[in-house]
Amino acid sequence: MSESTLNIVDAHHHLWDLSNPNHHYRLLRPETSGDRVAGDFNRLKSTYSIKEYLSDVYPYNIVKSVHIEAGYDVSADPWGDTEWLHEQGKTNDNDLPNGLVVYANMMNDQLRERLSVLTSRFNRVRGVRQMLNWLDNRASKYTACDRPDYLIDDKWKQGFGLLHDHGLSFDLQVYHHQMIDAAQLAREYSNTTIILDHCGKSFFFFNKSLSNCCKTIGLPYDENIRNQWKEGMSILAQQHNVSCKLSGLVMYQHQWTIDSLRPYIEHALNVFGAQRCLFGSNFPVDKLNASFAELIEVYLQIAKETGLSQNEIEHVFHDNAIRVYRL
């Protein structure tokens, strides 16, 4: 089976609507710096609808997809983004995006009410994400939240416990040094499905070709970080309710090669297995550094080189996302 005939579920992409004055996205505001770790975000500051996405992925057979929250500011219009995303699904033959992972703050006093509205009004909502990756300080562009201790905070965990009651999964975005706490969370809430985004986002810390990136943020290049990441991934993989998304790998590797991506995909497949890894394009963010065709081809080649059978490849690129996100 070739790449062009493979039925693909894209388990991680983003859509946003900048045409509506009430829709605001944290990293896409006109006044927000475009200097991001993934590249020049100024290139992304226009509406990216399902029409643009389908143009980018053509001619590949994307049979279903999952939109992941894109930093939408719920304060001005709490439901506007979700309403727009639902309308997007009516504009194409495959109803993409078929699943939505939306934003929710586990610390919010109105969390229960928000989750109830999301699940009662919007039948495409499958899960939530609150980005937790923290590095060094709140001001760092490598930090996505306002404090480092959410994973161990009792109130935050009480909010997290509401997800299972509403039939929702949680997309987990953390760095290597947060994986132990994340694994403990998964143990405590073993009935909640957790999906680790972007293989743990720690690849730029220990890639020699990106050592200057470490210097920029005051973090010395350290081979030990590779081992910490591998250990953290292994511990997370021991939790039966955690899956891993093969996504976002070119965000920090702007001059990537198949050899530079191979260690992350191989290790994820080795510890989580083909039954708990999902392909995600991370478009249009990863579009800054690769075409969709390049991503599919390199991910698929590494999967084959790792020894995956055709059946296992279909699990990674299709079946697992259907099961995990209940599509």
Q: What is the pLDDT of residues 268-322, one digit of tens each?
A: 999 999 999 999 999 999 999 999 999 999 999 999 999 999 999 999 999 999 9
Report the pLDDT value the prediction gives residue 14, as an integer from 0 to 100. 98
Q: What is the pLDDT of residues 53-83, one digit of tens each?
A: 999 999 999 999 999 999 999 988 999 999 9
Q: What is the mean pLDDT of residues 101-127?
A: 97
Report the pLDDT value the prediction gives residue 135, as an integer from 0 to 100. 74
Asked whether residue 218 carries a pLDDT value surpassing 50, the answer given is no
Model confidence band, residue 222 (pLDDT cutoffs 50, 70, 90): low
Counted domains in the chain: 1
The two beta strands, 39-40 and 35-36, are antiparallel
Model confidence band, residue 1 (pLDDT cutoffs 50, 70, 90): low
Helix, coil or strand: residue 73: coil
Q: What is the mean pLDDT of residues 131-147?
A: 69
Residues 131, 151, 184: CA angle, nearest 5 degrees = 120
Please list the alpha-helical segments (H only) found in the chain.
50-57, 80-88, 111-121, 154-160, 162-165, 179-188, 211-216, 223-237, 258-272, 292-305, 310-314, 320-324
Give CA–CA dist 252/274, Å, rounded.
25
Range of the domain at 201: 3-324
The two beta strands, 125-129 and 169-172, are parallel
Tokens of 146: 């306002």
Asked whether residue 254 carries a pLDDT value surpassing 70, the answer given is yes
Q: What is the pLDDT of residues 152-171, one digit of tens each?
A: 999 999 999 999 999 999 99
The enclosing domain of 121 has a CATH number of 3.20.20.140
Q: Residue 1 to residues 9, 141, 291, 313: CA-CA distances in angstroms?
A: 16, 41, 21, 10
Give CA–CA dist 61/87, Å, rounded.
21
